[in-house]
Amino acid sequence: MKKGVILAAAGLLALGLADAGPARAAEITIGAQVPTSGSEAPYGIDMLNAIRMAAGEINAKGGVLGEKIDILPGDSACDPQAAVNAASKLVSQGVTGVVGGYCSGATLPTLKVYGDAHVPFVITASNSTELIGANPGNAFMINSTGFDQVKTAVNLFKARGIKTLAIINEGDAYSANLAELTRTAWEKLGNKVVDYEVVSKGQQDFSPVVTRIRQRNPDAVFWTAYYADGALLIKQLRQGGYAGMIALGDGNNSPKLFQLAGAAAEGVFCFSNPTANFLPEAKTFIENYQKQFHQPPGPYSALSYDGMMLMAHAITVAGSTDRMKIIAALKQTDNFPGISGPISFTPQNTLARSNFVVLLAKGGQWTLYTGPGAPGAK
């Protein structure tokens, strides 16, 4: 090559570097699989906020392995196909790991996507027991499973003298799993499920269900699906004259339930992971969250924050962004100090303790129930 051509090429290279601006700092990309559209979007946005907040705190302290954490959202929309599409896109974008997972039915099919790519996945909310058998080994559940929720529910029902039960679900992986587990456990104790209903997601008119429940008059009604539809059911049950106990699965532990159900929600019970406002260790978290997002953290914000912190810890322990090494580090987690409580895993990669509490609707808000049948109550 002639000297003039070499000099011209060098000049173009220098110009190109100058145009590119300063080199970007290296980043570790973590996917956040949450619903940011659809009826459960309020939950998902709360989770995403908490994941981003954790990443921001990590980055302020120098990042992980000298690199910054970059959060890449993937909208599951609480829909299986949308979740698979989002998971496939996150994998194609080269994420090091994924944190999130809300609706179990949407999380379930993504296990194969992430499993095939050996992507470590910290599941922060989804808790259907179906996830356990479908887990290829790379996913780790930091919310207690449906087995723990059923035990909590049955203990409450027994302590409050419930003998007959009506169970209503929407047929999805989360609500049907919780409904079936409850029916099995309840009948095994010699009690009766006098009505078992499967309704459609988004259903507006529950009058046929209300009529059957009034006719069979169960001591309690257990709704195992989500708050958006659950609020309507509660309202119509009370308007229809049902005066018995109403209990809700953990998909209903949102303050938005009170906006939709109004006064009908008073006295309703809900089984829940411990939300931030009931966690002594979460005081600073709550203050920082409110300061940053101008609203209180949501029901799964603390778990999502812990999930991001746990992922960063595992990368640090692995000393690498190699996915298999991170999975191995997650398996070795031993009492990681999350604000939602210590995190260790069973051989099945589920949380090694139950984190369920019982909430009681009182004065238009959720309060921590400590009466007969509450976890730890004497």
Res 179 pLDDT > 90: yes
Inside any domain, residue 377: no
Tell me the mean pLDDT in the region 28-38: 97
Task: Mark whether 167 and 207 lie in a shared domain.
Answer: yes
Res 5 pLDDT > 90: no
Dihedrals phi, psi of 225, to nearest 5 degrees? -95, -145
Contact 73, 43 (CB under 8 A): no
Inside any domain, residue 326: yes
Nearest-angstrom CA–CA distance, 318 and 311: 10
Task: Mark whether 217 and 301 lie in a shared domain.
Answer: no
Q: What is the pLDDT of residues 90-110, one digit of tens each?
A: 999 999 999 999 999 999 999
Q: Nearest-5° angle of CA 245, CA 206, CA 365?
A: 45
- Three-class DSSP category at 351: strand
Mean pLDDT of the chain: 92
Task: Mark whether 167 and 113 lie in a shared domain.
Answer: no
**Model confidence at 19, in pLDDT bands (50, 70, 90)?**
very low
CB neighbours of residue 24 within 10 Å: 8
**Domain range for residue 160?**
147-272+357-368
Q: What is the pLDDT of residues 131-155, one digit of tens each?
A: 999 999 999 999 999 999 999 999 9
Nearest-angstrom CA–CA distance, 272 and 101: 16
Inside any domain, residue 10: no
Task: Mark whether 114 and 165 lie in a shared domain.
Answer: no
Inside any domain, residue 352: no
Q: What is the per-residue pLDDT for 274?
A: 86
Task: Mark whether 364 and 313 lie in a shared domain.
Answer: no
Residue entry with tokens 């799993």:
177
Inside any domain, residue 19: no
Q: Which CATH number fits the domain that encloses residue 297?
A: 3.40.50.2300
Q: How far is CA 142 from the centre of its chain?
A: 9
The set of residues, in sequence order, having a beta carbon less than 8 Å from that of 116 and lying 6+ positions away, is 136
Tell me the mean pLDDT in the region 314-325: 98
Tell me how many domains the chain contains. 2
Of 163, 195, 372, 349, the residue nearest 269 (C-alpha): 372
Task: Mark whether 240 and 217 lie in a shared domain.
Answer: yes
Task: Mark whether 205 and 289 lie in a shared domain.
Answer: no
* Strands ordered across the beta sheet of 27-34: 68-75, 27-34, 97-100, 121-123, 139-141
CA dihedral 150, 156, 159, 162 (to 10 degrees): -80
Res 9 pLDDT > 90: no
Tell me the mean pLDDT in the region 202-226: 97
Inside any domain, residue 260: yes
Inside any domain, residue 14: no
Nearest-angstrom CA–CA distance, 5 and 28: 39
What's the pTM? 0.88
Task: Mark whether 107 and 217 lie in a shared domain.
Answer: no
Task: Mark whether 258 and 285 lie in a shared domain.
Answer: no
Task: Mark whether 182 and 134 lie in a shared domain.
Answer: no
Q: How far is CA 119 from the centre of its chain?
A: 18
Task: Mark whether 231 and 362 lie in a shared domain.
Answer: yes
Strands (E), the chain: 27-34, 68-75, 97-100, 121-123, 139-141, 164-169, 192-198, 220-223, 245-248, 269-272, 336-338, 341-343, 357-362, 365-368
Task: Mark whether 239 and 361 lie in a shared domain.
Answer: yes
Amino acid at residue number 359: L
Inside any domain, residue 8: no
